Amino acid sequence: MTARKDKYAAKAMNVFRQYGLNISIDEIAEKSAVTKKTLYNHFESKEGLLKYCLRTFLHDLEKKIAIMYSEEVDAIEGFISGIYGMGEVFHSLSPVFFDDLRKMFPELSGSQHKAGFGSFLEGMKRNLEKGKTEKLYRQDINVELISRFFISSLVRFFISSVLTRSEYSARDYFRSIIDYHLHAVVTPKGRRLLEKENETQNILRNNE
């Protein structure tokens, strides 16, 4: 049951991403190649379907964030992987999706934003603490302050100037913001590791 529900939600989410939320359940069914009856058998309403889609979206986002403090990688590699992963998730959503969610479902938008911000904040703080423990980040950084500043500036600028106006490509934006942040917090040891990581990334980009 859950597997099928997830499959139908994924199809509906693709429709929401492309066409926004000002779309009827009939149109969702038609565009996702699922019958209206099937959707109502699994979701009580269009809003119920959207809520389920957003929970799934948030779960995917949390998995991307978790790499930031994973014991399998150092803090620098974890930060780079986590931010790029989050960027891919956010970039999959269209400007009309964000706009419709904010206008049509303000309470749902607010609760999802709060949950997403909380997960990102926790991941960011754990990454900074991990980097300090590994001697890759400076010991004097204010973890709470830097975490909140970075998240607020990243998300707001991305939505206002990257996603909605396309002034910068998403890939270039996240590459620049990652480089800016890490150079501000790394120790000499961390800088050497960051330079090696940047060399690896350059090689991968040249081979694409």
Helix (H, G, I), strand (E, B) or coil at 45: coil
Q: What is the pTM of this model?
A: 0.81
Nearest CA to 175 out of 91, 83, 67 is that of: 83
Give the Cα separation of 97 and 99 in Å (integer).
5
Nearest CA to 39 out of 58, 25, 59, 54 is that of: 25
Q: What is the pLDDT along the chain (208 residues), one digit of tens a residue?
A: 578 888 999 899 889 888 888 889 999 999 999 899 999 999 988 888 888 888 888 888 888 899 999 999 999 999 999 998 887 877 777 667 777 777 777 776 666 666 678 888 999 999 999 999 999 999 999 999 999 999 888 877 776 776 666 667 777 788 888 999 999 999 999 999 998 887 766 655 556 5
Q: Map out the domains of the chain with their CATH numbers.
A: 55-206 (1.10.357.10)
